[in-house]
Amino acid sequence: MLLEPLGEGTRATVRLSWHPPAAAGGKALAVLTGTDPQSALEDDLYRMKDFIERGLPVRDQAGTLGGNVLH
C-alpha cells in the first residue's frame, strides 16, 4: 500500500492480485457472498479511514472489533 498526500487528504493506492479457485465461477461466488478480496479491502480501508479521522476502532454490527488485517 502506498500513502501519499493529496490536497487536504491522503491517497491510498493498493495493488491487489487474486487468482480465485474455480476461475470465473469461484470469483462470481466470492463476489456474491461478499468474501472477495476487493470487497474486504474496501471495507478495511473505510474502517482505517474512520479510525484515523476519529481515533476510535470501528465496531462491526455484532459489536466486536471488525475487519481484516492489512499486511
pLDDT one-digit tens code per residue, 10-55: 888 888 777 777 777 777 887 787 777 878 888 888 888 888 888 8
- Each domain of the chain, given as residue ranges in start order, spans 18-71
The predicted structure's pLDDT at residue 69: 47
pLDDT at residue 64 greater than cutoff 70: no
Instruction: Specify the 3-state DSSP secondary structure of 28.
Output: helix
- pLDDT-derived band at 63 (thresholds 50, 70, 90) equals low
CA pair distance 46, 62, nearest whole angstrom: 18
Query: Which residue reads 498526500 in cell numbers?
Result: 5
